[in-house]
């Protein structure tokens, strides 16, 4: 798995900013706001592309989805010193969709923009330390929009026009991360999430549904950024 060089560079810069200031203890009633740059790395498991009756195309083929960088923001509220709930927001990320198997010669066949808001329950292990690890699990809803296709797909299907539609879906995720104090109420944050996402993409040709494919997206999301405690 290829980790983003951008995130590695930002992490190195963040570590150099750390100071030996006293801990910013988190406690019941606190709000934390974080902002991160994130690398979304899909782990795609694609079914076979089929016609609308469910018959696989021959020879077999599927799809893949590439990584994308974007930003996310989360807001956490502490119900106790250790337990918090996080609302995860993000700037939508656009991913390229490529064909695999017998259709791999088509290369990129489209792109889709993804928005993944979620609500996460977190446990913070050492709220009184200046290095505060946490873990969480939550539920979200994935919105897919601004789908488009390429001329490569249109020409490959021999159509005058093509389209792509990806179904919105609920998801489950787990999370691990750490907040590391800087000065006053500011801190650095490192965060990892893993999403379980199953959905269906429908390919259209000349305005009609022509083919579909079920696939698991299941991205690993790596983030580095900072935050402020209120």
Question: Residue ranges of the domains in the chain?
Answer: 5-18+26-229
As given in the structure block, the two tokens for residue 17 are 């900013």
| DSSP three-state, residue 103 | coil
- β-pairing verdict for 61-65 and 93-101: antiparallel
Rounded distance between C-alpha atoms, residue 93 and residue 38, angstroms: 10
The closest of 2, 79, 73 to 40, measured between CA atoms, is: 2
This prediction has a pTM of 0.87
Q: Does residue 20 have a pLDDT over 50?
A: no
Q: Does residue 11 have a pLDDT over 60?
A: no
pLDDT at 211: 94
Pick the CATH number of 5-18+26-229 from 3.20.20.70, 2.40.160.20, 1.20.1250.20, 1.10.260.40: 2.40.160.20
Rounded distance between C-alpha atoms, residue 113 and residue 165, angstroms: 11
Question: pLDDT grade, residue 58 (50/70/90)?
Answer: confident
pLDDT at 22: 53
Enumerate residues 6+ apart whose C-beta is below 8 A from 16.
Answer: none
pLDDT digits (tens, 9 = 90+) for 71-85: 999 999 999 999 999
Question: pLDDT grade, residue 15 (50/70/90)?
Answer: low
pLDDT mean over 54-69: 93
Q: Give per-residue burial for 83-122: e unless 16+ CB within 10 Å, then b.
A: ebebebebeebebbbbbeeebeebeebbbbbbbbebebeb
Rounded distance between C-alpha atoms, residue 63 and residue 125, angstroms: 40
């Amino acid at each position: 798995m290829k980790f983003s060089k951008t995130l590695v560079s930002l992490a190195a810069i963040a570590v150099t900013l750390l100071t030996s200031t006293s801990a910013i203890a988190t406690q019941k009633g606190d709000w934390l706001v974080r902002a991160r740059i994130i690398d979304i790395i899909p782990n795609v498991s694609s079914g076979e592309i089929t016609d609308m009756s469910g018959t696989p195309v021959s020879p077999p083929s599927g799809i893949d989805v590439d990584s994308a960088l974007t930003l996310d923001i989360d807001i956490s509220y502490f119900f106790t010193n250790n337990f918090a709930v996080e609302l995860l927001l993000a700037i939508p990320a656009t991913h390229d969709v490529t064909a695999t198997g017998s259709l791999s010669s088509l290369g990129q066949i489209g792109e889709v923009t993804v928005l993944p808001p979620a609500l996460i329950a977190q446990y913070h292990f050492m709220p009184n330390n200046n290095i505060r690890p946490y873990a969480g699990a939550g539920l979200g809803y994935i919105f897919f929009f601004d789908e488009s296709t390429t001329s490569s797909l249109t020409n490959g299907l021999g159509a005058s026009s093509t389209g792509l539609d990806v179904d919105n879906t609920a998801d489950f995720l787990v999370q691990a991360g750490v907040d590391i104090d800087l000065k006053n109420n500011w801190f650095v944050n490192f965060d990892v999430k893993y999403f379980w996402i199953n959905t269906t993409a429908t390919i259209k040709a000349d305005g009609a549904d022509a083919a579909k494919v079920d696939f698991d997206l299941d991205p690993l999301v790596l983030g580095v950024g900072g935050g402020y405690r209120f």
